[in-house]
């Protein structure tokens, strides 16, 4: 008789209940596929009295997730509580110390403590798996760690926060300003309790830093991700970009070069007809580029009960099947300390500014660009309908320029005395 693989499930929110449902509904399927039953021994959540959409009567209840993590009748500690300090961290450490494998959906925990936890797991001969932490139901950790293992990874790109993509596509489709759609998203329950995790790009930045570690064999360096959220993306820019054939996305890019590791999660213009440009609503997309395979694009639901639980169960089934890999694809001790490189990869930029109606205003701006070594691909002057004064909105699309040169030009613009408001610069990723 094969021993079942016994789960201790910490967290009974959407994802936790999704896991319970799969374990209960697909017992036969799971046994057929792994050769052993997968069972839940015990669960833990803050509020035992809450009405939940699953039958939990067969499971022991632990008030304290640390106690759950240490139970003798638990083989795998499944952490779907969230939060990068406190109970989630303590319980994960307790599980590893007690010789349990860990499956987690917690990107924040790994982005902040991934190296230490990976070292702890490997010293204990245990594994930490986190498919659910990145891009929801898309098996992107597996694709990168295993499916593309024969490649030197050149670049990873992704739209990995469904809430941000929902807000940006809703702004575009309905012509609504950011504040209105943000409020809609809040009322629909799409936002984290602390919404800056979503709209500040932090959640997506966590995910990018985990992918970068696997891709480049480097220690997780979330603190070096260049982060810019979507709070400053205006409906004007969305509309103007659209007219020029671009959509605005919160896009993550990680790549490594002689200068070091570049990681950024920022709003970008992408071609409207590109796979990223066409991504609507809460769907996620990741592009993995390897030296042999070229570009692999994966698309799927980035959140929700079913998709996230599917990813958690993929990890559980891997453990049941005996697959044991180091957390980030190679032993934690061999991961390099990457030099952070501020993005220096040249790209075209979209620049928008409002100029005073003064003779020579445009010439002054063009001079700043020229002196910064930036050449102009397209320029458009927009007539503001219904505006009283004659201030002119001007849009530039530059040829490829180094980010530092764009910064330089932006500073110079401020000294010209012809700007009505703060100019906007958004990178264009021609994927």
Catalytic residues: 207
Q: Which residues are annotated as a binding site for L-homoserine?
A: 192
* Residue 287, φ and ψ in degrees, nearest 5: -115, 125
The residue among 33 and 186 lying less far from a copy of itself, judged by its C-beta, is 33
396-418: b or e for each residue (b if 16 or more CB lie within 10 Å)? Answer: bbbeebbbebbebbbebbeebeb
Which one of 325, 366, 376, 402 is in contact with a copy of itself (CB under 8 A)? Answer: 325
* Residues with Cβ within 8 Å of residue 258, at least 6 apart in sequence: none
The residue among 267 and 307 lying less far from a copy of itself, judged by its C-beta, is 307
What's the residue count for the chain? 431
Query: Is 32 among the residues that bind a copy of itself (CB under 8 A)?
Result: yes
The interface with a copy of itself within residues 280-309 (CB under 8 A) comprises 290-301, 306-307, 309
How many residues contact a copy of itself, by CB under 8 A? 59
Which one of 8, 11, 16, 18 is in contact with a copy of itself (CB under 8 A)? Answer: 18
- Site map for a copy of itself, 208-247, x if CB under 8 A? ---------x------------------------------
Strands 294-301 and 376-382: unpaired
Shortest Cβ distance from residue 38 to a copy of itself (Å)? 9
Which one of 17, 30, 110, 368 is in contact with a copy of itself (CB under 8 A)? Answer: 30
Query: Is 125 among the residues that bind a copy of itself (CB under 8 A)?
Result: no
Shortest Cβ distance from residue 405 to a copy of itself (Å)? 34
* Residues with Cβ within 8 Å of residue 278, at least 6 apart in sequence: 247, 272
The residue range among 315-323, 374-382, 408-416, 420-428 that interacts with a copy of itself, by the rule CB under 8 A, is 315-323
Shortest Cβ distance from residue 311 to a copy of itself (Å)? 8
Torsion of CA 230, 183, 278, 174, to 10 degrees: -120
Give the DSSP H/E element, type plus range, for residue 15.
helix 14-25
Q: Which residues are annotated as a binding site?
A: 107, 192
Query: Is 26 among the residues that bind a copy of itself (CB under 8 A)?
Result: yes
The residue among 308 and 416 lying less far from a copy of itself, judged by its C-beta, is 308
The interface with a copy of itself within residues 136-195 (CB under 8 A) comprises 137-139, 142-143, 146-152
Provide the 3-class DSSP secondary structure of residue 20.
helix
Query: Is 54 among the residues that bind a copy of itself (CB under 8 A)?
Result: no
Query: Is 314 among the residues that bind a copy of itself (CB under 8 A)?
Result: yes
8-state DSSP, 332: G
Q: Which residues are annotated as a binding site for NADPH?
A: 107
* Distances 48 to 12, 45, 125, 182, 417 between C-alpha atoms, Å: 10, 7, 33, 32, 63
- Distance from C-alpha of 397 to C-alpha of 51, rounded to nearest angstrom: 54
Helices and strands per DSSP (H, E), number in the chain: 14, 16
Side-chain half-sphere exposure of 90, counting CA atoms within 13 A:
8
Structure tokens at 199: 């709209």
Query: Is 78 among the residues that bind a copy of itself (CB under 8 A)?
Result: no
Binding-site ranges for a copy of itself (CB under 8 A): 18, 21-22, 26, 29-30, 32-35, 131, 137-139, 142-143, 146-152, 217, 273, 275, 278, 290-301, 306-307, 309-314, 316-318, 321-325, 329-331, 334
């Amino acid at each position: 008789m094969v021993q079942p693989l016994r789960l201790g499930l910490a967290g009974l929110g959407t994802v936790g209940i999704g896991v319970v449902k799969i374990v209960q509904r697909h017992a036969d399927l799971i046994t057929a596929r792994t050769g052993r039953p997968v069972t839940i021994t015990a669960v833990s959540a803050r509020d035992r009295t809450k009405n939940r959409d699953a039958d939990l009567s067969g499971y022991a209840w632990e008030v304290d997730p640390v106690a759950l993590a240490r139970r003798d009748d638990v083989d795998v500690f499944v952490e779907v509580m969230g939060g990068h300090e406190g109970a989630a961290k303590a319980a994960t450490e307790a599980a590893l110390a007690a010789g349990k494998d860990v499956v987690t959906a917690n990107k924040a925990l790994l982005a902040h403590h991934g190296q230490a936890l990976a070292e702890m797991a490997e010293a204990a001969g245990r594994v930490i798996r986190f498919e659910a932490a990145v891009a929801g139901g898309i098996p992107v950790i597996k694709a990168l760690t295993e499916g593309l293992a024969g490649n030197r990874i050149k670049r990873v790109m992704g739209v990995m926060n469904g809430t941000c993509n929902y807000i940006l596509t809703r702004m575009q489709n309905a012509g609504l300003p950011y504040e209105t759609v943000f409020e809609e998203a809040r009322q629909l329950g799409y936002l984290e309790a602390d919404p800056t995790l979503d709209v500040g790009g932090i959640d997506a930045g966590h995910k990018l830093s985990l992918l970068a570690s696997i891709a480049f064999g480097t220690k997780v360096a979330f603190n070096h991700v260049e982060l810019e959220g979507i709070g400053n993306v205006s409906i004007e820019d969305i509309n103007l970009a659209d007219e020029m054939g671009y959509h605005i996305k919160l896009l993550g890019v990680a790549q490594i070069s002689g200068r070091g590791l570049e990681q950024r999660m920022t709003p970008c213009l992408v071609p409207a007809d590109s796979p990223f440009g066409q991504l609507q609503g809460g769907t996620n997309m990741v592009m993995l580029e390897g030296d042999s395979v070229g570009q692999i694009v994966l698309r799927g639901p980035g959140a929700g009960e079913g998709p996230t639980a599917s990813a958690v169960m993929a990890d559980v089934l891997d453990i049941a099947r005996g697959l044991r890999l180091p957390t980030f694809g190679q032993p934690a001790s061999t991961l390099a300390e990457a030099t952070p490189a501020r993005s220096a990869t040249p790209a075209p930029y979209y620049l928008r500014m409002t100029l005073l109606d003064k003779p020579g205003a445009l010439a002054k701006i063009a001079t700043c660009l020229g002196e910064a070594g930036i050449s102009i691909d397209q320029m458009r002057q927009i007539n503001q309908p219904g505006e009283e004064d004659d201030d002119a909105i001007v849009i530039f699309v530059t040829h490829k320029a180094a980010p530092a040169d764009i910064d330089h030009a932006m500073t110079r613009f401020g000294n010209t005395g012809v700007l009505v408001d703060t100019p906007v610069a958004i990178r264009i990723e021609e994927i």
